[in-house]
Structure formats: C-alpha cells, structure tokens
Amino acid sequence: MTDRPSRRSFIGSAGSLAAVLALPSVRSADVLQAPAIRRAPLAQPVAISSANSLAPVTRTVELVLQGTDTLDAAVEGVKIQELDPKDDSVGYGGLPNADGVVQLDCSCMHGPTRRAGAVGALEGIKTPSEVAMLVLKYTNHIMLVGEGAKRFALSYGFKDEELLTPESRQKWLVWRANRGPEDDWLQVPDKEPMVVRPTGTINLNVVSPSGDISSITTTSGLAWKLPGRVGDSAIVGAGQYTDNEIGAAGSTGRGESNIMVCGGYLTVDGMRRGLKPTDACLETLKRAVAMSPSRLIDEKGRPKFGLTFYAVNKRGEFGAASMYPGRFAVHDGRDARFVDCAYLYERTK
C-alpha cells in the first residue's frame, strides 16, 4: 500500500486548485457594504387621542419610533397637557370640585406586562399620569386614592403644589355665584356669561412598530363635582383598557355612563370579536345609550350627555366614535392631524 497519489487524482487536484485560484478576490469592504435585510414592522405605529391632544400624540409617536416603551411614551405625551395651565381639563389648571379644590384621576395599562395602575381624587400633584405609572411599576396594587395617593406621590419626590390657576378659580367663582337664587351668594349680572359644566379628559392609546400597546386616561374630572367623586378615568376597564394581543380603547365624556358599560373593556372585546376599531366604538356607544336612565334621554330617544370612545388594534388600525359629531387627534407614524369621529346622532339647534 502506498501514499503516492495516482496520476488521475493528481491532475484532478491540480485542476481544482487552478479553479480556486482563478476566482475573483473578495474584498472586506465588499462584505461590509452588502445590503441589509429589511424587516417590515409588525404594526403601523399609531397614537390616537382626544381632540385636545395633538401635541401629545406627536410626542408619543416620536418616542416609540426611537424605541421608547409604549407606556413611558404615552405618559410623556399626556404630561404636555397636564402641565399646561391653559388646559382646564387635566392636571395643573384643571377645573375644581364644588369646594374649589382640584382633584385628579388617572389610570394606565401596559400591554406587554399586563399590568395597570391608577390614582383617584389626587390633590396637589400636577402629573397624575406619572403617579399612576409608579403604582403600576412599584406596588402590588392597582389603585390608590385621596390622601393615600398623595402620600405615595410625595414619597417619590413629587411636590405638593397649588393646582388651581387664577383662570380656573374665576370660572369656579362664577359658577358658585349662580348656583341658585336662594343661596347666600350674590348673583352674577345677566350680561356676564355663565360657565358651562364641562367634562374634560385625555385618553391616549398607542401601538409601537413591534406591536406592543399601552393606554392612559387622565382628567380633572367633572367640573364642580361633589368632593371625592371619582369618574371613569381612574377605573381600569372603563376609562381605558389594553389587551396586548388585541388592542386598546378609552373614552372621554360623561364618566358615570361609561362606568355602567365598562366601555374601555367592552370596546377592546368588540375588536377581539372581529370588529374594526370604529365599529367597536359605535357598538359600545349604543350599549351606553341602552343602559341610560330615562332622565338622561330626551323625548327623541337621544342622550342628553356626550361620550366618545377611541380605539386602536394591534395592527395599528384606529378609529373613534361619539354620541354627536366631533373629532379626535391621531399620529399614524407620518403626521399628526385631526380626524372626524363617527357618531350616532346629529346635533340639533
């Protein structure tokens, strides 16, 4: 037995070597410049909110496109309005209760971790959204209220501040002076306009390019409310709700009517059953009307109150619907704009 190669194997090996040597050389620069594989996003990034939230949806989408967590981004978005003294529906400058005290409500849900946090009747803290998120992150609870919520916030370094601005205080004074002719307050002159009883809130729902979802609702609540009243905004499943496999939804408007139908949850469940976001919102509105007592329904069968739902699904499809014509704010990853809501009833003069 010998180790010497045969003539045939030698020629074959030599031919293979020649073929290899004849191949063009590959430069390292060519390898580095090879085209990257582009993966399509799992979802269209979207933030949808109430009509007073064009800046919040813009900021929220900017952050999620940079890789920020959806709930962190949503909180940073709504904080813009919570800190704006000119927005009397949320946070600093919000309209007070009957005693002239601003009490704030907020709840949030984080889809990826299936956790929630909320605060109710919180006084002296400008950004209840941040406090609700701390309840979610650092406690085994979901909701803290009143003095306990305030002590919790102070323990995390928040400042106890006056939330009533001169403008909000003046509106409260006018309302108080016009409560009734038999009370001890002098009536405001007839030529001075009355202050309507507004219901102001921000609900914001966001989907990231990876398909993660979060929602948050923050408010100063119904103006001139009874002290201690907590509306739907602080209630998980009513003011907002998130299922990371389905979508998110929330509301603005008459909180008591929304609480009666668990509107945030019901809207998300509608999307789970296959409804588009707008259709799910409309279905929940119809349920709210059906659940309303007769004192809240006019002679034509229409509600005497306003209520709007906003929704987005996991693919980034969005929609909103209200009792009467209105609009909402949305950023779809390209630009921020106002969009008309679907609605159940035409307004009457």
Matching residue, tokens 């945030």: 264
Give CA–CA dist 157/177, Å, rounded.
38
Contacts of 293 (CB under 8 A, 6+ apart): none
- Torsion of the alpha carbons at 124, 129, 135 and 141, rounded to the nearest 10: 100
Q: Are strands 307-313 and 247-253 parallel, antiparallel or unpaired?
A: antiparallel
Q: Would you call 70 a catalytic residue per the annotation?
A: no
Q: Are strands 143-145 and 199-207 parallel, antiparallel or unpaired?
A: unpaired
**Positive or negative, the Cα torsion across 205, 319, 88, 323?**
negative
Across 129-235, the runs of DSSP E, i.e. the strands, are 143-145, 199-207, 213-222
The H-or-E segment that residue 318 falls in is strand 318-322
Angle between helices 128-138 and 146-155 (to 10 degrees): 80
Cβ atoms of 121 and 250 within 8 Å: the answer is: no
Give CA–CA dist 101/125, Å, rounded.
12
Q: What is the CA radius of gyration of the chain?
A: 28
Give CA–CA dist 204/91, Å, rounded.
15
Give CA–CA dist 263/342, Å, rounded.
16
Nearest of 200, 201, 213, 211 to residue 311 by alpha carbon:
213
Q: What is the largest CA-CA distance in the chain?
A: 125
Marked catalytic residue, from 70, 201, 252, 308:
201
Determine how many CB atoms are found less than 10 A away from the CB of residue 148.
Answer: 15
Q: What angle do CA 326, 328, 331 make, to 5 degrees?
A: 160
Cβ atoms of 329 and 49 within 8 Å: the answer is: yes
Please identify every residue annotated as catalytic: 201
